[in-house]
Chains A and B, each alone.
Chain A
Amino acid sequence: MSSGEKYLWAAYLVLFAAVLLYVVLIALKVGRLERELADLARVARERAEGLNG
């Protein structure tokens, strides 16, 4: 592989890695939102049960 080809693949790889990193970050964010939502649902459920006696 010539040095030109190496640099070309490096540039394409940067784009691919950036998209991949973004997908990982979004997945982490969705996981955090799910946990927070579950936490809030639990709080709301406990409140409703408390109100119903």
Chain B
Amino acid sequence: MSTSLRNNGAALLSLVAAALLVAGLTLAIFWAPEDADQGISQKIFYVHVPVALTAYAAFFWAAWKALRLLWKGGERYDLESYTAVHMGVIFGVLTLITGSIWARISWGHWWVWSERQLTLFLILFLFYSAYFMLRYSTDPGPRRSRTSAVYALFGVALIPVSFMAIRLAEGLIHPVVFKRDGPDMDGSMFLTFCVCLAGMIALAGGLYLLELSGKRADASLRELRRRLA
């Protein structure tokens, strides 16, 4: 993808994200009904769950790029995988913060260690945070690209475990909304959720392309500086 296409893509995705997120949050506040048990605080769901799913999607994207690097080679996949991990970690932080706020109002605690879903997400987040330590502890080059790619691929194995933990856990307090026979919520709630999720994915896509452009410009400038020195 050329730089101008990427920048146009980032601008377009940012606009789509802004429109969808404004629409989604407006629907969440004014249209979607309040939950019978949790009341208005349940509306954190429209931010927390899309942010968490976007973090998972970013980690999957990082693994896909890592796989392509290991399979076909090519320096560009390394930067793309790294940028996707970067996005995943940002959305991971947001997941933990919004989840903690929701936990505080629903359960009375900011964090519950006995909840496997929470702990597994924290492990996944810490695993990907350590990716940066690994990456910057080795010199740039093919070796660093390959080790980073293998690490990003390993991390993705934790995602299904984290996702399934909530269904396998016993005596859980974390709610299960998406079941085998469909979403366990009102139609208007589900539509609002879909708009918010689409907005969040568009936002992550726009930020990903913007970050990628920045990192590529940085690398080109470094190369230019080296040649001019």
Question: Which residues on A are within 8 Å of B, measured CB to CB?
Answer: 2-5, 7-8, 10-12, 14-15, 18-19, 22, 26, 29-30, 33, 36-37, 40, 43-44, 47
**Separation of A4 and B105 alpha carbons in the complex (Å):** 7
Question: Which residues on B are within 8 Å of A, measured CB to CB?
Answer: 25, 38-41, 43-44, 47-48, 51, 90, 93-94, 97-98, 101-102, 104-105, 203, 207, 210-211, 214, 217-218, 221, 224-225, 228
A7 in contact with B203 given A14-B94, A44-B228 (CB within 8 Å): no
A14 in contact with B218 given A8-B43, A19-B203, A22-B90 (CB within 8 Å): no
* A residues in contact with B51, CB < 8 Å: 15
Chief secondary structure at chain B's binding surface: helix
Q: Are A11 and B47 in contact (CB under 8 A)?
A: yes
**Separation of A22 and B228 alpha carbons in the complex (Å):** 32
A29 in contact with B101 given A15-B51, A22-B90, A37-B221 (CB within 8 Å): no
Q: Are B101 and A4 in contact (CB under 8 A)?
A: no
A18 in contact with B41 given A11-B102, A40-B225, A40-B228 (CB within 8 Å): no
A33 in contact with B40 given A11-B98, A15-B47 (CB within 8 Å): no
> From A6, which residue of chain B is reached at the shortest CB distance?
B105
* A residues in contact with B48, CB < 8 Å: 11
* B residues in contact with A29, CB < 8 Å: 214
Q: Are A4 and B40 in contact (CB under 8 A)?
A: yes
